Structure 1
Amino acid sequence: MSGIARVVRHGPVHLATEAFADPGQPPVLLIMGATASMLWWPDEFCRALAGKGRFVIRYDNRDVGRSTTGLPGEPGYTIDDMAEDAVAILDAYGLAHAHFVGMSLGAMIAQIVALKHPSRVASVTAISSARLDEDDPDLAPMDPRLLEHFGRIAGLDWSDREAAVAFHVESFRISAGRQATFDAERARSRAEREYDRAINPQSAMNHAMLTGGERYRGRLGDIRAPFLVIHGRHDPILSFAHGVRLAEAVPGAGLVSLDDAGHELNERDWGLIVEEIHAHTSGPGRRPAP
C-alpha cells in the first residue's frame, strides 16, 4: 500500500498531500508540528493506521516540504491560516469532516479547527502537544540543551547539506528525551530526505515566528469533539504536565502516557499509538456540533 500524492490549492497556497487506503473508510487527517514535513508521519506508521480501516491523509504545512514556501524570516501567515489550510484539504478531498490527529503544533491547529469549524472535526488526537492558550510559568520549560542547540542556528549555513542534516539529527536526538533509545541512522535518513525534498530548508524555521489563535484563549472547554491526549513522560520540549493540562481543559478528554517517550513518534510506540487512534476513532463518542 503506497500513498497517492496530490496538491491542494487554497487560494494562492499550494499544499502537498498524500493519501493512504480507501477513501470510503473513516478519514484521518494527520497534521505535523513546527518545522517538520509530512515525512515525520513515517510511511510505515501511515500504512499501519490505514490497515486499521482508515483513510489516512498527511500533508506538508506551509514553509516545509513541497508546500508553498516563503522567504526565511517572513512567514506572512498565522496559525489561524494554517487551521484554514486543514479545512481546505478536507474540502479538496470532498470530506464533510475527519478525525484530526496532530503532533505538537499540529494539535494546536486541530484545537483551532475544533473551535472554529466544529462540524468538520469528528475527533481530535493530540500527540506531544499543549493547550493552545497555555502560558503558565510554573510548567517546566524547554530542555536547556535544546535551547542551546537552537542558539547556534544563526551561524548555520543552510546551503551546506551536511551541516543542515547534522543540525537536524542533533535536534532529533535531544527531542527524543534522555530516556529514549535513539536511532541515529533512522534520524539521519529522515533528515536527508527532509532536506532534499524541501523547497527551502531554512524557511521551515518560520514556524518559530508564528502568531495567532488569540481569539480562542480560554475556550478549550467549548470543544465538543471527542478528544484524546497522547504524551511522552520524558518530553523535553512540552513536558508531560502540558499534556495533563490539555486533557484537563477539554471536557471528557482521555490521556494516554508513553512511559519512555520524549517529543517524538518513536517506532517502538507506533503500535500503541495506532491502536489508541483506532479505538478513539471507532466509538460513537460525541458527534460534531452543527
Structure 2
Amino acid sequence: MQTIHVNGVDLGVRTDGNPAHPAVLLLHGAGHSSAAWDERFCARLAAGGRFVIRLDSRDAGVSTTYPPGKPDYALRDLVSDAAATLDALGVRSAHVLAMSQGAATAQLLAIDHPDRVASLALHASTPGGPGHDNPDLPGPTEEISALFTAEPVEPDWSDRTQVIDYLVAAERPFAAASRPFDETATRALATRLYEHARDIAAQITNPFLIDAGEPWRDRLSTIHIPTVVFHGGDDPFFPPAHGEALSYEISGARFITLPGTGHELFPEHTWDTVLAGLADLHNLRAEDA
C-alpha cells in the first residue's frame, strides 16, 4: 500500500504482481474502496501475468476525504485521478476493470484519455453513467427504489459493530435473489471496508452525491478498444438490459451474463468466468488466469 499525491489530493494505491507485466487498474464502486477487491481474486490476476493496481478513489479507503454530505469534487475529477495515478506509477497504458461508479469513471477514461486504456472490462454498469436518464432501459426494482426514498437510519459511525452491521444490511438488497445471501462473505467485505476507511461516514455518503456531469452515452461509439461487459443476471439496480445496451454502444464489445449475481462485486462463484473473460480480453491464455 502506498499513498500518491496527484491533482491536489492524496490517493491510496495497492499493487500486486510484477510491474513489468501488463497493468490492470481496478476501480471500485460507490461506497466501496480498494479493499472491496478480494485478495484471492487479485492474486489470481497477478499470477496470470498482470501488474494489478487497486485505487482508493476520493473519500474511499485511505484517500483524501471530505465532510460527509459535502464532497468537493465531481465524477470528472475521478477520471483525472485515474489517469494521474497511472502517471505516478509510470504506467503508459493499462487494462481497466471496473464496477458501477468505477465503470462510469472507466467509460470516461477511455473516451477522454484513449491512449491510457488498453482494454475495458465493465461490470454492473449502464451506458452513460449513473444518474442519467435512459428512458429506453428498465429502472431498478421496487425494493431498490424504496431504499432511496426511505433510507435506513445511519449508525453511530464510531461504533465498529454498528457500522459493520449497517454495511452488511446495505449490501443485502443488491445481492442476487436467485441464490442464498452469503452473510459470511458479505460480513468479511464489510469488515475490510470498515478497517481500511479513513472516514467510513464520508465513504458511504459522499460518492452518491457527486455530479456525474453531462451524459456521454452518445460518445461511447468513439471507444475502439477491446471491451467486455459483465453483468449480473439478477442485478436489481441496473437490470441486465443496461449491460446489454452498454455492450451495444461500444463497437465490438462482448457481453457476458453472470448468473446468480446481483449488483455486487464478483461473488466467488463468478471468478472462473470473469478471469477467463479477462484472459481473452488481455490476449493471455485462459489457463494462466
**After TM superposition, is the score higher than 0.5?**
yes
Confirm whether residue 18 of structure 1 aligns to residue 14 of structure 2.
yes
Please say if 1:230 is aligned against 2:242.
no
- When the two chains are superposed, the root-mean-square deviation of aligned CA atoms in Å is 1.6
The answer on 1:194 being equivalent to 2:193 is yes
| Counterpart Cα distance in 1 of 2:85 and 2:154 | 36
Residue 278 (structure 1) aligns with: 279
CA contact (8 A) 1:115 1:216 kept: no
Q: Report the 3-state secondary structure (helix = DSSP H, G, I; strand = E; otherwise coil) of the residue aligned with 2:218.
A: coil
The answer to whether the 8 A contact 2:36-2:192 is kept is: no
TM-score (norm 1): 0.91
Is 2:125–2:231's contact at 8 Å kept on the other side of the alignment? yes
Q: CA deviation at 1:41?
A: 1.0
TM-score, reference length from structure 2: 0.91
Question: Alignment partner of 1:47: what SS?
Answer: helix
Is the Cα contact below 8 Å between 1:244 and 1:255 reproduced in 2? yes
Are 1:38 and 1:59, in contact at CA under 8 Å, matched by a contact in 2? yes
Structure 2 gaps, min length 5? 285-289
CA-to-partner distance for each residue in 1:154-205, whole Å, 9 max, x for gaps? 5433233222211211222221121133221121122122112211111121
Displacement, 1:149?
4.1
Query: Paired residue for 1:105, among 89, 101, 104?
Result: 101
Q: How many Å separate the matches in 1 of 2:267 and 2:215?
A: 34
SS in 1 for 2:4: strand
1:55 to 44, 51, 58: 51
> Counterpart of 1:169?
168
Inter-partner Cα distance in structure 2 for 1:267 and 1:203: 28
- Displacement of 1:213 in angstroms is 3.7
Work out the CA distance in 2 between the residues paired with 1:184 and 1:271: 22
**CA deviations over 1:25-70 (Å, ceiling 9, x no partner):** 1110000111101111110110011111111111111101111111
May I ask how many residue pairs the two structures share in their alignment? 279
In 1, the alpha carbon distance for the partners of 2:182 and 2:50 equals: 28
Give the corresponding residue for 1:116. 112
Distance of aligned partners of 1:88 and 1:129 in 2 relative to their CA distance in 1, 3 Å threshold: same
What secondary structure is seen at the aligned counterpart in 1 of 2:5?
A: strand
Q: Which residue of 2 aligns with 1:286?
A: none
Residue number in structure 1 paired with 2:34: 38
- Cα distance in structure 1, aligned partners of 2:213 and 2:147: 28
Does the Cα contact within 8 Å between 1:77 and 1:210 map onto a contact in 2? yes
- TM-aligned CA deviation for residue 208 of structure 1: 0.8
Alpha-carbon distance in structure 2 between the residues aligned to 1:108 and 1:155: 27
2:180 corresponds to: 181
> Following the alignment from structure 1 to structure 2, what is the Cα–Cα distance between the partners of residues 196 and 270?
24
Q: Distance in 2 between matches of 1:181 and 1:54?
A: 33
Change (3 A) 1:109 1:29: same
Contact 2:35 2:196 in 1 (8 A): no
Percent of aligned positions with the same letter in both sequences? 36
CA distance in 2, matches of 1:217, 1:7: 33
Contact persistence 2:16–2:46 (CA under 8 A): yes
CA distance in 1, matches of 2:229, 2:246: 7
| Contact 1:49/1:278, CA 8 A, preserved across alignment | no
- The one-letter code sitting in structure 1 at the alignment partner of 2:138 is A
Contact 1:34 1:105 in 2 (8 A): yes
**Cα distance between partner residues in 2 of 1:67 and 1:181:** 34
Q: Mind listing any 5+ residue stretches in structure 1 that lack a counterpart?
A: 284-290
Structure 1 runs of 4+ with >4 Å offset = none
Deviations 1:48-104 (A, max 9, x none): 111111111111111011111110011110110000111111001101110011111
The answer on whether the counterparts of 2:94 and 2:119 sit within 8 Å (CA) in structure 1 is yes
